[in-house]
Structure 1
Amino acid sequence: MWMRRYKAIVILSAVLPAFLLAGCETSAPSSQFPELTYRHLGPLTLDVARIELATRYIPPLKPPNVEHRAPVALYAAIRRWAGQRLKAAGRRNVANLIILDASIREVPLPVKGGLKGLFTSQQSARYDGRAAVLLEIRDDGGRQLAFVTARATRSLTVAEGASMAQREKVWFALTEDLVLDINRRLEVEARRHLRAYLFAR
């Protein structure tokens, strides 16, 4: 199969309210954090006419969730990754990349009291990050032809009295690592189960 050039169309789903989508895009990292980009990973080129991006995950925007407070929201990072990695180069069918989970939750940890606790540096909170995406191929009539999923989980802790800057570094690290985990797992699954719709790289 030889490749022709076709312009990929990436469409943001209207599942999220407009104000929330706007908020995701404006959660740009401060100057102390590098920009998260994925073009260096190369394209994952699909034999479809277009690629659409949607989400089933609605950020609660309240505790225990903290992903919306991160320098780059996890759901925004996943959207950027999908937009930079997934490419359409076919004449028919559509690929849907659906975000199933993009959460970071704070879990308080028990802290010892007394003299032992006073002179010990203790971890007071754990941040659990979860990311999950579904990549499906549908024909032009909407019938599902194939699909794969990718999931990733990571956790990091912070010490008692951690500053906001220290917590932001943890959230950023979780976001960066989770997206790269999703990238690796989705590519493996796609090469196993979507070979009929995947151009060789």
Structure 2
Amino acid sequence: MISRRELLVAVPALGLAACSHDPAPSFPAFRFEGSPLLFNLADISIDNRFSPLGEGHLEADFDVSPETALENWVGDRLQAAGSSGRLVVTVTDASAVQERLSTTNGVEGLFRDEQGFKITVRLGVDFVADDPGRLSTARTHVEVEKFKTLAKDVSFTERRQAYYSLSRSLIDDFDAKAVPALRQHFRLFLG
């Protein structure tokens, strides 16, 4: 028979053992294959105008936030190859917001598998090219949004993996919209 003392030692030890099986994953930065878009401009810069305000913002909890994903995208996809003018990439939205979903309370809630959180990520970007020497300007706006729901009892590792996959999905959708938009609206500036 197990003594009370052994039980008091064993229960917390089991809890710690259960936590130790939640390994901390490693998440690499996003990279984008293929040839970059070559702009006949001297400079490409990022102007971040997004500031997370309000309740539920999670950007700091992401291993690769929407903003960081965009910075990687700009570095891999856009290249300056000219002698004058510039392309400004203005971030208007790079949010990651958590919303609590209603779940069943009490004993009944303990036995239900329910979604407890909705995570929404957004990316909004203005592209503006200006070359005073050629008297040319071009602009376009690209916006994408993704969301995912998470179980009410989601683990720390599952949450981090969800954030990472959400960011990856967001920037892949952004890439699919931004590259054709840039090719269409910035023809005069592409080399």
Q: What is the TM-score of this pair, normalised by structure 1?
A: 0.75
Would the alpha carbon gap of residues 59 and 113 (structure 1) be closer, same or farther in structure 2, given more than 3 Å must change?
Answer: closer
- Asked if the contact 1:136–1:145 (Cα under 8 Å) also holds between the matched residues in 2, the reply is yes
Quote the residue 1:77 is aligned against. 69
1:54-65 paired onto structure 2 within 5 Å = 54-60=47-53, 63-65=55-57
Give the helix-richer structure, 1 or 2: 2
- Asked if the contact 1:130–1:178 (Cα under 8 Å) also holds between the matched residues in 2, the reply is yes
1:158-197 paired onto structure 2 within 5 Å = 158-197=150-189
**What's the offset of the Cα at 1:119?**
2.8
Query: Pairwise CA RMSD of aligned residues?
Result: 2.2
Distance across 2 between alignment mates of 1:106 and 1:59: 12
**What's the offset of the Cα at 1:139?**
2.2
- Asked if the contact 1:132–1:182 (Cα under 8 Å) also holds between the matched residues in 2, the reply is no
1:1-201 paired onto structure 2 within 5 Å = 32-60=25-53, 63-113=55-105, 117-140=109-132, 145-199=137-191
Deviations 1:105-161 (A, max 9, x none): 0001011246654432000000011111111101248x8711111111000111111
Largest Rg, 1 or 2: 2
Aligned residues: 168
| Displaced runs of 4 or more, over 3 A | 113-118
Distance across 1 between alignment mates of 2:24 and 2:187: 41
Q: What is the TM-score of this pair, normalised by structure 2?
A: 0.79
Distance across 1 between alignment mates of 2:74 and 2:66: 12
Would the alpha carbon gap of residues 52 and 160 (structure 1) be closer, same or farther in structure 2, given more than 3 Å must change?
Answer: same
Distance across 2 between alignment mates of 1:75 and 1:51: 16
Gaps of 5+ in 1: 1-29
SS in 2 for 1:40: coil
**What's the offset of the Cα at 1:31?**
7.0
Distance across 2 between alignment mates of 1:70 and 1:63: 16
- Percent identity for Structure 1 against Structure 2: 24
SS in 2 for 1:180: helix
Would the alpha carbon gap of residues 120 and 31 (structure 1) be closer, same or farther in structure 2, given more than 3 Å must change?
Answer: closer
Distance across 2 between alignment mates of 1:64 and 1:110: 15
